[in-house]
Structure 1
Amino acid sequence: MTTTDATTAAERYEIGDRDADGRYPVAVDGKPTGHIYRWHGGWYAVVPGQPEETRRDDKHAAAAHLVDLVDSGSVDPSAAPAGPPAAEAGIVPWLSPKLKPTRRNIISAAIALGRLAELAWTPRDGDGKVTGYPGADNPWTLTCELSGTVVVRWWSHLRGRNNDNTPRPEYRHEGCIPFEEQAGKVAAFVGEPVTACPCQQLTHPTTADAADDLLKQAERARRTDDTEALRQLLTQLLGPCPASSARGQAMKELKERGQRSKS
């Protein structure tokens, strides 16, 4: 609960610009104090060195909570400046550690990764690190394969709306190659679609039935806390593959099957 008067708190905190990870630095009384970020409709306040993250309804309420923490003595803004958060480690890099490896999240991630491959985007940041699928309405750091530029996008925008499959914005990003050249460059970069997994060490599913079988195995591994088995299964379901587009289409079919069975 925020105890500081909202008007008074607003005079004491300053919200900075969003960084590449989607977090906004907050200074209280002119001193770096913590971060706030949006996740699935809520806003969270984060203090360096403290694992607890507090949910609020909007960014100003989240920033005001940091004022409360300063006033309560829970955080000392005169200490070391609040730097960027430490990277979180998930079971595999292709799914955000904030998302549980449930059937629904795995299917959504596989569909998104398959479509990124078709659009010549790669889920990597400026350091070349893989950025896991974060959900449809959360910022996702991606690299444009046409220009090498790292930008933040939302999957809900890239997948299009009303089933038109047109990514937004249609112009990829500021500083990309000329708009009229983009479609041709994407087609040349992506090449002919690969319909079967050619990988030798680990087979990735490209049919709905094969994907369904692996998803069931993954769910069993998750429920029994068999992390090693789950890691291998998630690598098959989400890991890089020349046929990732076909895998995404198989996942789409599974998703549609599920929707039909509920109707």
Structure 2
Amino acid sequence: MLNILRKSTIFPRAGDSPWSRFWYTYNLEAEEYDREFLQRYQGDMNNTMIFSGLLVAALATFASMTVNDLSPDPNLLMLVLVQNILISVNSTAGTVPQGIPLPAWEGPSVSVVWYQTLLYASLACSLLVALGAVLAAQWLSRYSAVDERGTAEDRCKRRQQKFDGLEAWRFRIFLEALPILLQFSLFLFSVSLCAYMWNQQRIIASVLIALNGLGGLLWAYTVVVSTVYPDSPYDTPLSDLLAQSFKRSSNATASLLRYSRLANTPAGFVGV
């Protein structure tokens, strides 16, 4: 048993140098941190890619159904031409009767332009989210790649270099921004759907507005609650960003107050 324990790599040997034991402990802590980090964000990116793909498919279908609203109605033009032909054929007088003038099209209405703008903005946001999720998955895969060359110290230093790059380039903020952008895309889609249905049928549009408003209130409730109460289970990326922003602003305000108090304190009472 003693021989097995001496050859084991689970625990550092007593004869190892302090630096060897340091890098061994560092490797254990880094592996635990990276495991949790990758498990969380790789799962989030997979879910984001799946949901963004479904949303893009729904948006593309809806856009193909409503794209004709941006151009003149060909059925109306055909109907006017057919009526003019019937008038000319049924005329018994010697002169050609005056036909129905062709309808003049002055472009889509303001409501059509608005909901089409929201619809295609939602589609563009969903495509950006899908692209960002694919790139993020590749970057996370490269971060988790283990370099087998060099000593344990060299591998640990390269891992720390990767981690410092993530922190310096705000990689977490990029990952957290993708779900927020996807939620914004879903919001634009719901608004455009309500605006489109408002021109078609007011009762159906009222039901959609009520349901989307209820969903928006529930979403806002989860964001506010998780921002104010850190122990709330309704945690979202937006609430985390808001909580960090409020914390920075409160710290900055406290620093300014302390500085103003010191500036207004007489010099003789500073050391009291």
What band does the TM-score fall into relative to the shorter chain? under 0.3
TM normalised by structure 1 equals: 0.23
Q: Give the TM-score of the pair, scaled to structure 2.
A: 0.23
- Greater radius of gyration (CA): 2
Give the structure with the higher percent helix: 2
